[in-house]
Every structure is written in structure tokens, then in C-alpha cells.
A and B are shown apart, each in its own frame.
Chain A
Amino acid sequence: MTSSAKKTSFPQNVDRLLVWSLRGIAVIVGTIVLFIIGFLILESLPVFRKVGVLPFLRDTSWNPMQGVYSLTPMLISTLLVVAGAVLLAAPIGILSALFCHYYAPKPVANLYRRLLEIMSGIPGVVYGFWGLVVLVPLINRLHPPGTSLLTGILLLALLITPTIALIADASLAGVPQEYLQGAVALSLSRWGTIREIVLPAARSGLFTSIILGTGRAIGETIIVLMVCGNIVQIPSSVFEPIRTLPANIALEMDFALGDHRSALFVSGLLLMGVNLVLVLLAEAIAQEEIYHN
């Protein structure tokens, strides 16, 4: 994919108008997240003023009603469940997209796409409910209590696979026909074509799909609330219950006053920090790819 160095050449004046209005729109969109961060900081200030920042990392446990505010176990749990879900969902999603384009006959591929589209609209509460009623008892038979890190990983993966698959599918559709025709001319095998031509060409789209899938997994509140057990601890096995930061906010926010409420906003702020780190990391990887292309 080439990109022109000078993208702002204008044959006509209407284009100048277009660009400036588009820039305005982009500014509005770009500042939404700043508003949200500002809001979180505002609401976190009361407890920061009272106990500072360190207790959130160094306290022994999370008992906000008694002034103990450690967020570390929940942070680690969140990262674990998201990592597990993405590691599971990314290959499945991308393979599904490959399936639709290169392996399935047209009607089957379309049917599969419709299926994925419906899955992408199913609320977390449905997966959570099903998980609580069907999956948890199953896992409980393997190893009590059933509500665990594993259940969370499985259901979150189920939630984000359609997102990854559909975006990957669309980016595969963007691979130019000429590339594929060239591959046939070189008599490459299907695997060879996919590995050497298609995946690199659709690389940035596939990457985007994984980023958006990860974001969705980090932000999902209801599924983890219902099936992960909500025990604040660092799990020593996948069968142990965990509590993630979003689930914690959902669980306690309705009943929290004063400092407790502020502390919950601090956990929200922490999540934004994690997001920022992940986004910068992803950007760094993407830059490498683009420049080495």
C-alpha cells in the first residue's frame, strides 16, 4: 500500500471547505476521551487528597469500607482475563475470516458471516446468564467453585471473536485482486498465498481488529461480574475466582458513598492508564511493521 507524501493538494476550493470541516469533526471526536479522563480525575480527587496514591498499590487488600484500597490484585486479574481472551479469540477470529474468503463456498460463507454478525450484537448479559447457568456448573464439576478465571476467559473470547472476525473479514476483502491473481500466476499454494501475500497485505486491518477486540474485552463489565466469582485475589490457577476492575466498579458503585465512591473512580483511572500503555505499545508495534514493510 502506498501513501502519498503530499495529501493536501486541492484541485478545487470545495475541498478546502471539506478538509476544514472534517478537521473540526475529528477534533470533537478526539476530545471525547479527554473529557472522560477529566471526569475520572475530578471524581478521584477526594480520596487522593485523603490517602494519596501509594495505598492503591501497596495496601494489603481491598476493603474500602475500612479504608484499605489495594488495586493490584484486581489489576493483575483484569490483565490475565483479557490476555487469555485475546489469545483465544484472535486466532479464531482471523481463521474465521480466512474461512469466509478462501475456504468456504459463497453461501456457506455468507451464512457464517450472518452468524457472526448476530453474535456481535448479543448483550454481555446473555452470555453471562448462559455462562452462569450452563458453563459454571460444568466447570464446577471439574474444579469448584466454577466461577473462575477460566469461565471469564472463555466467555470473553466468545464475546470478542465476532468483532475480530468481522473487521478481519472486511480487511481481507480489501486485498486487491491483482495480488491474488499474481499468486496464482506464480502457482503458489493456498497456504503460501495466505502466508506471503494476503496476511501481509491485510496486516494493518488485522491489527486493528485485534486492538478493537482487546478494547472490548477490557471494557466488558457484566460477563465478568456474573461468572468470575468476584473474589479479590491474584489467582494461582485458572480455576480460581477473580475480580476485575470494571466488575468491581459495577459491583460496588451503586452502594458507595464518599471515599469509597472516589476510590472506585481511581480504579477507573487506573484502567485508562492501562489502556494508554496498551495503545502506545500497539502503536509502536504498528510503526515497526509499517516502516519495515
Chain B
Amino acid sequence: MSRQNIPPSQNNPSGVPRSPATTKSDLIARSQKIAYADILLSLLVWAVAISVTAVFVWISVDIVWHGAGHLSWEFLTKEPEEAGRQGGIASILVSTGLLLSVCLGVAVPLGLGTAILLAEFTVLNNWFGRLVRRSLDMLASVPSIVFGLFGNAFFCVTLGLGFSILSGGLTLACMVLPLLIRSVEEGLRSVPHEYRLGAASLGLSRSTTLVNLLLPAAFPSLAAGLILGIGRAIAETAALMYTSGYVERMPESLLDSGRTLSLHIYSLSMNVSGGDSSAYASVVVLMILLLVTNGAAIWIGEHWLHSRIQN
């Protein structure tokens, strides 16, 4: 800790810095000051956590109160009728699942690969690494509607995929990549260097070290990146309107158009008059879906990578 001038006190009128533990009253004075800061910080931190929880509960209660009445087993298993005001969301759920699979199927390999490269195989200030990181940070700030327009022009028109789950999934993958890559890179960077040195001294190839040692050790960041990516993908609306389309029907292939849950919610609340209660119910389903997928991601991690998020 740095040496600073301590304010003049009874036992040290000149204020000349001495080593911290010189006088007894100095020690007590410092420990009291530290105790205040500790209490203050505790209060602040708890206040923040409680406020955030309170707002979340406020919103959730509002949603559940309006939407619970509309929920039923039929809601989950039937297709939408009357523009979504009646019927269910079965086809929507299937489309959402397919879209998520395409998105993650593309984003996870590409993302992991790039993150590993950035963290393990480039020197911290290497020009290539800097360029890639810069482009990722810019990618993370592109408005979702611009992604939609780009996705439409590139995937739907130029590549000829049309309004399809494939176009939507690929566009989503572009949006999710920055989150995934930056999280994983940070995680890998924070793994202590001794692990790598130890592995090298044992003669392990860098690939083995990576897969069996470093990735499991960086697991908290991997999980965070994955969960954030899933969250971003499920929450996206504007981009999908222009790429995977608006069709409510059950998709029969990846080249079919399909409406996702968030787009359905948007349509019901902003486009279709009288669709509000269906919209609320869909939000409830969405939140449950998030709980399930996030839980699955963590469970997979804990069992397959043999590590825990909190040690």
C-alpha cells in the first residue's frame, strides 16, 4: 500500500508519515476508520442488491398477474389462433428452440476458437489481437435494427436463404459472438500462469493443456458468456423481424420462416389489438424458458467439465 501523509493527530503533530503501526492510538484510529468504510460498503452493497431484486419482483409480479390467467397446458401445445389472441404458442416455442440451436451451433465453435486464440496464442498487445478485439467491441454496439437490415440484405437476399430460421440464426450468431468471445477471453486470461508452465513442464501439448486444464479452470467466464449469449439471443426482436420473419406456423425445416417468442410478444403487444393478455402469458413462458436453459448450461458445465462455478 502506498505511503501517504497522515493528517496531524494528537500523537503526531507534524503529520510526517511513519510506519502504520507506530502508535497504539494511530492503530485504533485507522481501524475505526476502516470499520466505518466497511459498514458503509456493506450497507451500500446490500441496498443495491435489494433494490435490483425489488424492481425485478415489481415487474415480474405485474407480468405474472396479467399473464397467469392465460396460461394453460393448451397454451404450450397448441398453435396460435386469431393472430395469437387465442390458441397457444407451440409453433413459436419450436421456432425459438431451432433458432437458438442454430445460433449457438455457429457461435460457440467460432467464439471459443477466437477467444482461445486471443487469450493463448497472441501476445497481449499484438496488432492482430488488438484489431480483432476492436472489431468485436464495435460489433457489440451495432443496433439490433441494423443487424436486421444487414442480415436481410446478406443472408436473406445475397445468400438466397430468404426469410428463414437459418438467416435468423446466423444473424443472431453475429450478435452473440462479442459477448461470448470477450467473456471467455477474460476467463482464460485470469487463469494463473503457473498452470500453463506446469503443463509445459510435463510435456503436454498446448491443445491438451487447453482442453483438459485451462478451459475447465476458466469455467465461470465460459458459463457467464454462454448464459449472456443465450439471454441476448432469446431477447432479440428487431433483428429477427427482418431475417427469420413473422410466420406463426410450425416450421418444417431450417429454411422455413419461424416466429420467435420475443417477436411474438412484440407482435401481440404492439401490432395486434387486444393481444395483451397473450403477450403477458408469453413473457411468463419466456422467463421459465430462460430459467431452464440457464440451469441446463450450468448443469452441463458442472458435470462435463468437473468444476463448479463457486468454489
- Which residues of chain A have a CB within 8 Å of any CB of chain B? 1-5, 7-8, 10-12, 14-15, 18-19, 21-23, 25-26, 28-36, 39-40, 91-92, 95-96, 98-99, 103-104, 106, 109-110, 112, 114-127, 129-130, 134, 158, 161-163, 166-167, 169-171, 173-177, 189-192, 194, 196, 202, 204-205, 208, 211-212, 214-216, 218-222, 245-246, 249-250, 253, 268, 271-272, 275-276, 278-280, 282-283, 287, 290
Q: B115-135 interface mask toward A, CB cutoff 8 Å, 1 = contact, 0 = none?
A: 011101111110010111111
If A99-B48, A121-B235 are given as contacts, then 8 extra A-B residue pairs at C-beta distance below 8 Å, sorted by A number, are A3-B124, A15-B207, A25-B113, A123-B235, A126-B283, A129-B279, A220-B144, A283-B130
Q: Does B29 contact A (CB under 8 A)?
A: no
Closest to A249 in B: B145
Binding stretch for chain A, among B55-63, B72-80, B246-254: B55-63
Q: Does B7 contact A (CB under 8 A)?
A: no
Within 8 Å CB of B124, what residues of A? 3, 290
| Min C-beta distance of A101 to chain B, whole Å | 8
B117 touches A125 (CB 8 A): no
A212–B114 Cα distance when bound, in Å, is 17
| Min C-beta distance of A132 to chain B, whole Å | 9
Within 8 Å CB of A219, what residues of B? 140-144, 146
B262 touches A123 (CB 8 A): yes
Q: Does B243 contact A (CB under 8 A)?
A: no
Given known A99-B48, A161-B52, A163-B228, contact A30–B234 (CB-CB < 8 A): no
Within 8 Å CB of B71, what residues of A? none
| Min C-beta distance of A200 to chain B, whole Å | 12
One of A25, A98, A250 near B110 (C-beta < 8 A): A25
One of B138, B227, B266, B279 near A33 (C-beta < 8 A): B138
One of A208, A276, A290 near B138 (C-beta < 8 A): A276
A103 touches B178 (CB 8 A): no
Given known A96-B48, A163-B228, contact A215–B141 (CB-CB < 8 A): yes
A170–B222 Cα distance when bound, in Å, is 9
A29 touches B181 (CB 8 A): yes
9 contacts between A and B (CB under 8 A): A14-B205, A25-B109, A26-B114, A26-B118, A29-B114, A30-B135, A33-B136, A121-B231, A167-B186
A123 touches B228 (CB 8 A): no
| Min C-beta distance of A45 to chain B, whole Å | 14
B140 touches A36 (CB 8 A): no
Residues of B267-311 whose CB lies within 8 A of A: 269-270, 279, 283, 286-287, 290-291, 294, 309-311
Given known A22-B113, A115-B56, A212-B140, contact A30–B122 (CB-CB < 8 A): no
| Min C-beta distance of B105 to chain A, whole Å | 14
A12–B287 Cα distance when bound, in Å, is 47
Q: Does B179 contact A (CB under 8 A)?
A: yes
One of B38, B224, B235, B287 near A124 (C-beta < 8 A): B235
One of B134, B189, B225 near A1 (C-beta < 8 A): B189
Given known A19-B121, A40-B146, A189-B38, contact A118–B186 (CB-CB < 8 A): no
Residues of B209-224 whose CB lies within 8 A of A: 218, 220-221, 223-224
A74–B52 Cα distance when bound, in Å, is 30
B286 touches A33 (CB 8 A): no
One of A92, A170, A176 near B48 (C-beta < 8 A): A92
| Min C-beta distance of A65 to chain B, whole Å | 20
